[in-house]
Structure 1
């Protein structure tokens, strides 16, 4: 099958992450998907660029790059975790308006788009900020223990938390794309009721699933995530055989 003929799995990173997080998914997905990570400024190849502090702005400024990566006539499934979930939701609105056939939106570790976080990290001093982020994520990235790496990562992490915690949807209109909401079974940050709020964000089908783990369950369960996305994505024959 031609690379461009496969359905694209557009992967939107969580706070502080870059596109390389999803590179192993390419091998794990085998021939199921063409994995297309979204590249945001402030990290990896775009490390010298100023990171966004507004989700809607980030989506609007990223959609052309995503369209270029997808190619003409593409069909796509969008996946986003935490911050990536609301960014993927905004991208779904934009891509659908631009003629992309978005088959499904898979949102992970996130309350519905209209729910504001009660516990916040934005504005805290560095030590308290990192402790709060560690509490949210359920683990501490080893790079934060190295001063040089921390100096690079901290501004991006702060910007990501800022835009996530201050996110307001661009519209109150739901998407027509089917949505699957996923969470770690013992996620202490996003409860089941909050994950189920996504049913209000679509006029199409809605489903809910849990996978073993905490808020960052996907770090150790990438294959299970891909299996779930495949199981949830029931395409018509003309799509599956493209």
Structure 2
């Protein structure tokens, strides 16, 4: 099973944008981006194992291993410049993937990290041990989840195992010394995010020698849903690609 989902292949595109979903998320989260970002960019969304059309594939609960697998799978798609965008858990995985790509001589042209503390500034919150009701409550608190749908026992049985796996991945992640980024990094956040504050976000800038920018938009942890067009506009601006659609 391939690691990426592409709503529209664009052989003429000058750049590929690889999008990394949040904990409990799947590639479908980024499906609307393809129609909005413009024809100069091809969107490739990462599909983590154990969910959606990869439900039968074994979980990966180590961020470093997950990044290695994704970086390896990206190799055939690096025939043109690539940028990475990750939200929440996806920001950490995208960062580790960017480090690997740079180490291998195929550094991305830009890293966008959204709704996440810097990898070397982790918190001590733990959710993976919660019972099902507690886990659902945390998902609802973060936003981006349909509380009514999660009351369905059959849906819970499908969704909660990979949500729990993803929370464990984040909780057990440790930043390791190694490759320091030299590429531009943009950190985005919602001004009412309960998981990361505007004061914490600048620490991402400590991890790169490239240009660094912080963009604060209205909204909670999932600000990028209602603010999608503004987020995409920031990506277009940073990558110097024409506005879409």
Equivalent residue for 1:32?
40
Give TM-score, length-normalised by structure 2. Answer: 0.88
* Superposed CA offset, 1:30-89 (max 9, x none): 213110111210112211111111100111112222223x242x2111100000000000
Identify the residue that residue 110 of structure 1 maps to in structure 2. 116
**How big is the alpha-carbon RMSD for the aligned residues of Structure 1 and Structure 2?**
1.7
Q: Does 1:232 align with 2:238?
A: yes
Aligned to 1:102, the other structure's residue is in SS state: coil
Instruction: Show the counterpart of 1:143.
Output: 149
| Shift in Å, 1:205 | 0.8
Unaligned runs of 5+ in 2: 1-9
Q: In structure 1, what is the equivalent of residue 5 of structure 2? A: none
Alpha-carbon offset, residue 134 of structure 1: 2.4
In structure 2, the partner of 1:55 is 63
* Equivalent residue runs for 1:148-163 within 5 Å: 148-163=154-169
d(CA) in 2 for partners of 1:218, 1:150: 25
Q: Per-residue displacement from partner, 1:158-177 (whole Å, max 9, x unpaired)?
A: 00000012111243542111
SS of corresponding position for 1:207: strand
Secondary structure of the residue that 2:83 maps to in structure 1?
strand
Equivalent-residue separation in structure 2 for 1:5 and 1:32 (angstroms): 4
1:101 offset after TM fit, Å? 4.1
- Aligned pair count? 231
Q: Distance in 2 between matches of 1:62 and 1:131?
A: 30
CA distance in 2, matches of 1:160, 1:56: 13
Q: Report how far residue 138 of structure 1 moved.
A: 3.1
The whole-number CA distance in structure 2 between the counterparts of 1:124 and 1:143 is 19
1:138, 1:40 → 2: CA distance?
Answer: 20
Q: CA deviation at 1:132?
A: 2.3
Shift, 1:212, TM fit: 1.4
SS in 2 for 1:42: coil
For residue 192 of structure 1, give the secondary structure of its aligned residue in structure 2: coil
Query: How does 1:51-90 map onto structure 2 within 5 Å?
Result: 51-68=59-76, 70-72=77-79, 74-90=80-96
- TM, length-normalised to structure 1: 0.89
Deviates more, 1:152-161 or 1:27-36: 27-36
Cα displacement (A) at 1:133: 2.9
Q: Distance in 1 between matches of 2:177 and 2:49?
A: 24
Report the structure, 1 or 2, having the larger helix content. Answer: 1
Residue deviations 1:172-198 (CA, integer Å, cap 9, x gap): 542111111110011121101211110
Is the counterpart of residue 174 in structure 1 residue 180 in structure 2?
A: yes
Q: Is the 8 A contact 1:116 1:166 kept in 2?
A: no
Find the aligned partners of 1:170 and 1:76 in 2 and give their Cα distance: 24
CA distance in 2, matches of 1:32, 1:145: 41
Q: Which one is further off, 87-96 or 168-177? A: 168-177
Distance in 1, matches of 2:151 and 2:41, equals: 35
Query: Where in structure 2 are the equivalents of 1:191-230 lying within 5 Å?
Result: 191-230=197-236
